[in-house]
Chain A
């Protein structure tokens, strides 16, 4: 064993359990210096736990970490950071109320007279890093004011500022456009050239092939493969992750759209500050079709959806017609009564009640509208019958109808909410990011169900940050950029690159060179 060649970073025989759940079962990870090592696996495979151990947040039950031949014992994340481990979390660890530079130097401030923050020195060092690694970020803006793609750069500068040699990126591309991803990959290649080591956690197979030097696959807390991208195909890799054939392409038949059910004319929405977020938008949704709206996060899609469902006000001159009836500036309750279903992006807090039971969540929003109540009291017979139907048809894995929603996994919560909205007699479903952060199996399932819903003659408005999802599912595709809706052709009419370019508002040709 000992004579084997030494790797820069080795995590040997790591075991970590939480109660009865064994999150990491004897995992060994070996990473070479100045390479990109992809760590892939479904949700719950143990990737995050392993990386939390590496970054000192969890202590392993068993196993050891060796960096550059030295055995490490990290007492906490401070300790790990001091030894060159930097982690960029999927949920950004940034303070909204503080400025970018305050975020970067946080807890690692340089001081004057031992007690005051030396703003000048801090700034010099941060600016040096930005220059060295070609990052361009506004240092004095508040974090709440800058776009997501920049937040990610802030996170990377933050770990570099702390002197990280090994940088862990946890699903860094989940909110980026294709161009944003290219930019990130460029930055990663630059970091590698400068001797940094990257561990990339991801769900997305395409990214793995684009950037990784080596791949470790985890499944159910165990390593199921350790390969080089040149030695394996996408399908084989997917099989290692889930252990069965996964088709990441939806089974979509061409549809014959029916009558118009939703018609939006000249819709304009302003936000709280009075900034126009949706500009003069026109589109319609026919029965039996999926209309997809792709866009980078923060392009106005959230305001568009909220105005449609009555959660925010539309400006004068806007018109929203549902089955020919004007519903502009109606209330969510009106919308539900008329047969509009809504699946919000934040499924746990806006789509459901994490403290509530499965059956409560299964009838939420319909407890009055669709008659789960006989005059005064809830009709439990009907509720149970309906909830059972949702759970069975949508394959929600649960201990029983009285289990709390928060104890389910993300995929199962999403199945429950999609089920709730689609089994009801709705004519139109407005769906935001139906598969965000759920595993491949659940994505496939939700996609299939959405296609099945349209076959019943319902219309779907799909708003997603995942371009592939919009392209796979939509009969007609729009792109929203800076509040303006742009037509992006019918199913499979335009390529991913063409649409990605629209998401950035045109863009230059040389982006793809």
Chain B
């Protein structure tokens, strides 16, 4: 039994599932890196993702096209970012409070919309929510291992990895990225260099909002064609954790997101065994704690230093 389990968790199928399930985490957290680097305390990742998931489903439902669905999801993230920025940047609301309100309101809002639009509770399944179809690449078919790993995924999955690379290039190779990092590191200095801190904060926030919306649209449109209450189930927070552990570096963040995706895949592949489901579904969260513990041990520098570096 143990050997069977071990075989399964290192099987190509498991890794393929990990690559697939990491997709929303990567898209969301790479965009979130730009929010993290400007350090304005926006923690409302769960909200952006859940609302994105709803509008992804809704957009696809009314248009019959998953691409339109994703665009509507991006738009919803954009609007949420606008409201957030208005509250925090212009009306000086506390970022932490707004974030908590956002995260809590998201569940209520999407459930309300579920009732109002589709007149149902819990879950809405309908063939009119058109999912992305998988891309079948012939040239991969002949390579046994790579075929399982990379073939037959939806567009968004491939996009996620391209997105990570583009994110890295923008962050570290363009003037825009340099300025953005500076704004987060020491706003006063950026200001003295003639940079509009507020502009960069807005841009970082909007990149994050749109990316999280897009990431959210993966969930209803990846094949299941349904929307359910609290569909994201903490994936937004997984994005946030990836970003914090990866220190806002898009590539490092992607690696952490992959790790979470792998833990997520475990819950799927291990469900075929007769293991208690509660324990199996704990895996992604245990993975979070394990990663934090490892990072904590690596950075441990004696007990007497009080660092406020928790967020």
A245 at the interface (CB under 8 A from B): no
Q: Chain B residues near A89 (CB, 8 Å)?
A: 192
Please name the residue on chain A nearest to B193 by beta carbon: A107
Q: Chain A residues near B188 (CB, 8 Å)?
A: 91, 93
B298 at the interface (CB under 8 A from A): no
Please name the residue on chain A nearest to B303 by beta carbon: A313
> Which residue of B174, B192, B302 contacts A87 across the interface (Cβ within 8 Å)?
B192
> Which residue of B169, B178, B194, B302 contacts A78 across the interface (Cβ within 8 Å)?
B194
Within residues 184 to 234 of chain B, which ones have a CB less than 8 A from any CB in chain A? 184-186, 188-195
CA distance A107 to B302 in the complex (A): 38
> Which residue of A76, A79, A107 contacts B179 across the interface (Cβ within 8 Å)?
A107
CA distance A79 to B192 in the complex (A): 11
Q: Chain A residues near B184 (CB, 8 Å)?
A: 97
A109 at the interface (CB under 8 A from B): yes
Take A116-B173, A313-B302 as given contacts and tell me if A106 and B179 are in contact as well, using a CB distance cutoff of 8 Å.
yes
CA distance A78 to B174 in the complex (A): 20
> Which residue of A77, A79, A272 contacts B193 across the interface (Cβ within 8 Å)?
A77
B272 at the interface (CB under 8 A from A): no
Contact A107 B195 (CB under 8 A): yes
B304 at the interface (CB under 8 A from A): yes
- Report A299-319 CB contacts with B as 1/0, cut-off 8 Å: 000000000000111000000
B20 at the interface (CB under 8 A from A): no
Q: Nearest chain B CB to A88's CB is how many angstroms away?
A: 10
B235 at the interface (CB under 8 A from A): no
CA distance A388 to B238 in the complex (A): 53
A510 at the interface (CB under 8 A from B): no
Contact B181 A98 (CB under 8 A): yes
Contact B185 A77 (CB under 8 A): no
Q: Nearest chain B CB to A275's CB is how many angstroms away?
A: 11
CA distance A266 to B305 in the complex (A): 23
Q: Chain A residues near B181 (CB, 8 Å)?
A: 95, 97-98
CA distance A107 to B178 in the complex (A): 8
CA distance A443 to B155 in the complex (A): 69
Q: Chain A residues near B186 (CB, 8 Å)?
A: 93-96
CA distance A102 to B186 in the complex (A): 13
Q: Nearest chain A CB to B296's CB is how many angstroms away?
A: 14
Q: Chain B residues near A77 (CB, 8 Å)?
A: 191-194
A511 at the interface (CB under 8 A from B): no
CA distance A272 to B305 in the complex (A): 8
A111 at the interface (CB under 8 A from B): yes
Q: Chain A residues near B236 (CB, 8 Å)?
A: none
> Which residue of B191, B195, B304 contacts A313 across the interface (Cβ within 8 Å)?
B304
A81 at the interface (CB under 8 A from B): yes
Take A77-B193, A312-B304 as given contacts and tell me if A96 and B185 are in contact as well, using a CB distance cutoff of 8 Å.
yes
Q: Nearest chain B CB to A439's CB is how many angstroms away?
A: 23
Take A98-B182, A111-B175, A117-B175 as given contacts and tell me if A106 and B193 are in contact as well, using a CB distance cutoff of 8 Å.
yes
CA distance A406 to B184 in the complex (A): 25
> Which residue of B174, B185, B194 contacts A107 across the interface (Cβ within 8 Å)?
B194
Contact A93 B185 (CB under 8 A): no
A57 at the interface (CB under 8 A from B): yes
A21 at the interface (CB under 8 A from B): no
Contact B194 A98 (CB under 8 A): no
Q: Nearest chain A CB to B308's CB is how many angstroms away?
A: 12
Contact A76 B301 (CB under 8 A): no
Q: Nearest chain A CB to B249's CB is how many angstroms away?
A: 11
CA distance A91 to B190 in the complex (A): 13
- Report A245-276 CB contacts with B as 1/0, cut-off 8 Å: 00000000000000000000000000011000
Q: Nearest chain B CB to A502's CB is how many angstroms away?
A: 31
Please name the residue on chain B nearest to A107 by beta carbon: B193
Please name the residue on chain B nearest to A144 by beta carbon: B185
Please name the residue on chain B nearest to A158 by beta carbon: B193
Contact B178 A109 (CB under 8 A): yes
Contact B194 A109 (CB under 8 A): no
> Which residue of B178, B194, B302 contacts A76 across the interface (Cβ within 8 Å)?
B194
> Which residue of B174, B182, B301, B302 contacts A106 across the interface (Cβ within 8 Å)?
B182
Contact A106 B192 (CB under 8 A): no
Q: Nearest chain A CB to B133's CB is how many angstroms away?
A: 34
Q: Chain A residues near B169 (CB, 8 Å)?
A: 116
Q: Nearest chain B CB to A430's CB is how many angstroms away?
A: 17
A115 at the interface (CB under 8 A from B): yes
Contact A94 B189 (CB under 8 A): yes
CA distance A1 to B194 in the complex (A): 35
Q: Nearest chain A CB to B167's CB is how many angstroms away?
A: 15
Which of A76, A77, A97 has the most B CB atoms < 10 Å from its CB?
Answer: A97
Q: Nearest chain A CB to B19's CB is how many angstroms away?
A: 29
CA distance A111 to B175 in the complex (A): 8
Contact B192 A57 (CB under 8 A): yes
CA distance A92 to B182 in the complex (A): 14
CA distance A95 to B179 in the complex (A): 11
Q: Nearest chain B CB to A492's CB is how many angstroms away?
A: 39
Q: Chain B residues near A311 (CB, 8 Å)?
A: 304
- Report B292-303 CB contacts with A as 1/0, cut-off 8 Å: 000000000110
> Which residue of A95, A102, A117 contacts B174 across the interface (Cβ within 8 Å)?
A117
> Which residue of B174, B185, B194 contacts A81 across the interface (Cβ within 8 Å)?
B194
Please name the residue on chain A nearest to B169 by beta carbon: A116
CA distance A117 to B182 in the complex (A): 15
- Report A105-124 CB contacts with B as 1/0, cut-off 8 Å: 11111010001110000000
CA distance A367 to B179 in the complex (A): 46
Q: Chain A residues near B182 (CB, 8 Å)?
A: 95, 98, 102, 106-107
Which of B191, B192, B195, B305 has the most A CB atoms < 10 Å from its CB?
Answer: B192
List 14 A-B residue pairs with CB atoms under 8 Å apart, sorted by A's residue number: A77-B191, A77-B194, A79-B194, A93-B188, A94-B186, A102-B178, A106-B179, A106-B190, A106-B195, A108-B193, A117-B174, A272-B305, A273-B301, A313-B304
Using A95-B189, A97-B185, A115-B174 as known contacts, list a sample of 9 further A-B pairs with CB atoms less than 8 Å apart, ordered by residue number in A: A76-B194, A78-B194, A81-B194, A93-B193, A94-B186, A95-B186, A96-B185, A117-B173, A311-B304
- A-B pairs with lowest CB-CB distance, top 10: A78-B194, A272-B301, A93-B189, A95-B185, A107-B193, A109-B175, A97-B185, A93-B192, A77-B194, A95-B182
